[in-house]
Amino acid sequence: MLMYHRVSECPAGSRHPEITVAPQRFAEQLAMLRALDCTLVPLSTYLAYRRGEGALPPRAVVVTFDDGYLDNYATAFPILREFGAGATIFLVSSLLGGTNVWDPDEPQTPLMGTCHVREMQRAGIDFQSHTATHARLTALAPACALRELAESRDALAQLLGAPVRAVAYPWGAHDETVQRLAEDAGYEAATIVRRRVNFDDTPPFALRRIGVWRSTTVARLAWDILRLRWRGA
């Protein structure tokens, strides 16, 4: 399972340039995955498999994006279509059409609006939750964290006309309490950031994702895909 954020040229003044993958690099990474006979699927396909409702294709790789930046639509989406790749985007439900206000010191960048989400959904892109406001859940009182989780799930389900089954913890921040609250809010899975692959016994509220960064070379990503699956937990 891979985690991206932005697919764009790095904006001037960025304090977090690592979250921005250049479009050419992204295309090269997808080409490499195709050359390795990987099948790029959305998280919904993997969750259906975990529920016993279908099989995964050989060498399935789940491609995900956090935050819902507009460049996911303008830049990543055409490249995904070119490669026939599925993907999942985790949306901050209360900030659709807004900017990344959770990081006020970072250049403010547009996020996708509802029209972009609906167009991509019609094309087969999967959408899940990244909470209501991108709050660090481990820093909140349990009642507030539960509200962040539940309100996002409900709002996105109404927008999408489909169940919202998973949440990506903002900043990857989670603990046992947050995992329990995600389950209480009605999710069936959640993702963390860990450079490992998932197995059938990986806890559903701690599914691992390999971060793909500006510095991630094609060779480094190929190594992760081919070798990490043998390293176990």
- The two three-digit tokens of residue 229, written as one number: 């699956």
The total of structural domains in the chain comes to 1
Domain range for residue 101? 2-230
Q: Three-class SS of residue 191?
A: strand
pLDDT at 168 over 70: yes
How high is the pLDDT of residue 232?
45
Q: Whose CA is closest to 80, among 160, 130, 156, 21? A: 21
- The two three-digit tokens of residue 45, written as one number: 């396909």
pLDDT digits (tens, 9 = 90+) for 93-106: 999 999 999 999 99
Q: If you average pLDDT over residues 19-41, what whole number do you get? A: 96
pLDDT range class, residue 11, cuts 50, 70, 90: confident
In the chain, % of residues over pLDDT 70? 97
How high is the pLDDT of residue 231?
47
How high is the pLDDT of residue 228?
67
pLDDT range class, residue 229, cuts 50, 70, 90: low
pLDDT range class, residue 85, cuts 50, 70, 90: very high
Q: If you average pLDDT over residues 3-24, what whole number do you get? A: 93
How high is the pLDDT of residue 225?
85
Q: If you average pLDDT over residues 74-84, what whole number do you get? A: 97
Please tell me the distance from the alpha carbon of residue 4 to that of residue 19, in angstroms, as a whole number: 7
Q: Whose CA is closest to 29, among 155, 218, 227? A: 218
pLDDT digits (tens, 9 = 90+) for 98-155: 999 999 999 999 999 999 999 999 999 999 999 999 999 999 999 999 999 999 999 9
pLDDT digits (tens, 9 = 90+) for 44-58: 999 999 999 989 998
Please tell me the distance from the alpha carbon of residue 223 to that of residue 136, in angstroms, as a whole number: 31
One DSSP character per residue, 127-169 reads EEE--SS---GGGS-HHHHHHHHHHHHHHHHHHHTS---EEEP
Alpha-helical runs (H) found in the chain: 23-35, 43-50, 70-71, 77-82, 114-122, 142-160, 176-184, 218-227
Whole-number average pLDDT of the chain: 95
- The two three-digit tokens of residue 82, written as one number: 């070119």
Q: What is the CATH number of the domain that holds 11?
A: 3.20.20.370
